[in-house]
Amino acid sequence: MCGIVAATSRKRDIVPLLVQGLKRLEYRGYDSCGVAVWDNGLKRARSVARVAELEEQIKHEHLHGEMGIAHTRWATHGEPLVCNAHPHFAGDEIALIHNGIIENYEEIRAELQAKGVVFSSQTDTEVLAYLVRDCFHGDLLKAVEDALNRVRGAYGIAVFCKQDPSRVVVARQGSPLVIGVGEGEMFAASDTMALAGETDNFIYLEDGDVAELLPESYKIFKHVGTEFEPVEREVRQVQAFSNAVELGPYRHYMQKEIFEQPRAIADTLEAVREITPAIFGDQAAEIFAEIDRILMIACGTSYYAAMTSKYWFEAIAGIPCDVEIASEYRYRKSVPNPRTLVVTISQSGETADTLAALKHARELGMDKTLTVCNVATSAMVRESRLHFITRAGVEIGVASTKAFTTQLTALFLLTLTLAKINGRLTEEEEAQYMTQLRHVPKAVSSVLALEPLIIGWTSRFADKEHALFLGRGIHYPIALEGALKLKEISYIHAEAYPAGELKHGPLALVDESIPVVTVAPNDQLFEKLKSNMKEVEARRGELYVFADSDTGLSSSEHIHVIRMPENYGALSPILHVVTLQLLAYHTALIRGNDVDKPRNLAKSVTVE
C-alpha cells in the first residue's frame, strides 16, 4: 500500500498526471513515493520524501513518457529506503507497483535466487516483479496471470514491460483498484480522486480481476480457479471532485474536518424525512423483520462507533448487540445466528480486515448484511445487501473526525428504525429524537466555540508522555476514541478505561505527572463518576473534565473543568467527542507533529 496511479496514452506526456494523482492520494499516508515511465527504456524516480520533492527530482531528470505508473508506499516489508520504494524493476524488462502483501514471497524469493536473481530490496513487491519476468514469454497479460496463480495474499498491481511499452496490466485481490476510461487514453488508480478531471467514467474492478489497458481499449478477465475468463464490468459515471481536498483557510485538513462536522452531520441527515427502513435500502423492511440480534464489525475509530451504538441498540431498540474487532472475528470460531443483522462500518469501505470479516460472516450463513460507509462505490457497499452512505465528504486527515460523527448519526438512525419496527418507539418519541438529531449540527457548532478554552489546556499536555481517559456507560467508547486521537497525532501514550475500573489497576498509574481526561455528562452514572474523580484527586492526579453545564462541577487546584453548552441525552457522545478531537489536535500542534500524516499510519488500511 498505499496509492496507485497508472496511465497509457498516445497523445501526451502523462508524467504530470501521475504526479498530480500521487498528490491527491497523499492523504492516505505514505513514507516513500516513485514514478516509472517508458522513455526508450524503463526509467524511474524514487524518493523517501514527499511527492513535492519527487516532482522536483522528476524535473531535474527530465522524466517524461506516454505510459507510466506511480506509487506512494506505506512500508510493510523493509524500511522506508529508496531501494524499497516503488516502482520496482525486474532487470530492464518489467516495472511493477503493488499495494498489499504477498504472503508466500519468501519461498518465491528463494526459488528465484536459486535461478540467479539478485534482489536489491527487502520487499515482497520486487519478488513479484521478478516472478512476472520469470513467467514472461512474450505476452505480459499471460505472464501476470501465471504469476498471480503462484502467489497468496492481497494485491492491487500495475505492471508494464519494455517489449510492449504502450500496454499496462492491472490486477486486484483484496486491494481497491479502478480503471478510468478516457478518449485515446486509459487510466488506473486505487482511488477515483487520483483521476479527478481526467475522466468521469470508471470501472470498479472486483477481487480476482485482471485487466489489460491500451490507449484506445481495455479487456477485463476474472480469475476462475487457475484460469482467467473474459468478463464485462459496468462503466459508471462518477464525478471525482478534486476541489474537495483543498485546504482553504485552515492550517491542517484535520482542523478543517473537525470544523466541517456540523455540515457533514446535516448533509447526512438531509435526505431523511422520516424513520423508515427504506433509508437503508429496498430490502431493508424484509430483512429487519427477520432479525433478532445485531453483530457489528469494524476496526479503529469505526470500532468505537460500533461500541457506542451498542448502548443505543440495546437501550432504545431492545435488540442484543455484539461488537467485534474485524481482525479478530474472522480468525476465531464463533457461533453464527442466521437471524443476525451483520453491520460493518468503514470510512473508506475498503478496510481489508472488515471486508474479509464481512465475507466470513456471509460464509457462516449470516447473509443479512448492512454497511455504514462514506464511499458509495466501495467494495464493502457492493458486498452488502443494505447500506447507509454517510455524507461526510472526503476525509483527508489520517485521524478520523467527521467520518466518526457521521457514522454515529447513521447508527442512531438505524437504532430508531429498529426500535420503531419492534414497537418500542412511539410517534411522540420519534418526533423528539428527530428534533434532537436536526439540532445536532447547531449543538456541535456550540461545542466548536469552546476551542479557545481547550487550547488553554493543551500547553499542559505538550510535555507529557502519558495520559489517562475516563468515561462511563455510553461515554466509555468516547473516552477510547479520545485516547486514540491523542495517540495517533501527538504520540503521547494514552489509555482509556471505564471510570469504575480505576481501582482495579489503572489507579496505580495516577500521580501529579499524568493528566486524567474525564468525560462527564449529567446522566445516571454522574454521581458514580464523581466518586471516581475523587479517587484521582486523592492521589494528586490532575483532572481535565468536559462536563455538562448542569453538573455543578467547577474548577479547583487540581480539577480543570470546561462546561459543555448543553446536556444532549442519548446523543451526547457526538458532542463530547468533538472536544476530545480538538484536545488531540492542538496538543499535537504544540508538539510540532505532522498532524495530517502521523508517523507509521495510513488513512485506508487495505492490508492485514
Cβ-proximal residues to 415 (8 Å cutoff; 6+ apart), any chain:
309, 312, 313, 316, 317
Sheet holding 386-389, edge to edge: 321-325, 293-298, 340-346, 369-373, 386-389
Please give the grid coordinates belonging to residue 164.
Answer: 510492449
Please give the grid coordinates belonging to residue 476.
Answer: 466509555
DSSP code of residue 206? P
Asked if the peptide bond before residue 515 counts as cis, ω within 30 degrees of 0, the response is no
- φ, ψ at 350 (rounded to 5°): -120, 5
Find the radius of gyration of the CA atoms of the chain: 25
**C-alpha angle 157/163/164, rounded to 5°?**
65
- φ, ψ at 4 (rounded to 5°): -125, 135
Torsion sign (Cα): 72, 78, 84, 87:
negative
Nearest to 128 by CA among 105, 145, 146: 105
Cβ-proximal residues to 56 (8 Å cutoff; 6+ apart), any chain:
none
Q: Which residues are catalytically annotated?
A: 2, 603
**Cell 516532482 belongs to which residue?**
55
What CA–CA distances, in Å, run from 198 to 6, 86, 213, 217, 306?
12, 23, 16, 16, 37
Question: Burial, 446: exposed, middle or buried (Cβ in 10 Å; 0-12, 13-18, 19+)?
Answer: middle
The DSSP-derived string for 479-537 is HHHHHHHHHHHH--EEEEEEGGGGGGTGGGG-STTSEEEEEE-SSTTHHHHHHHHHHHH
Torsion sign (Cα): 21, 26, 27, 28:
positive
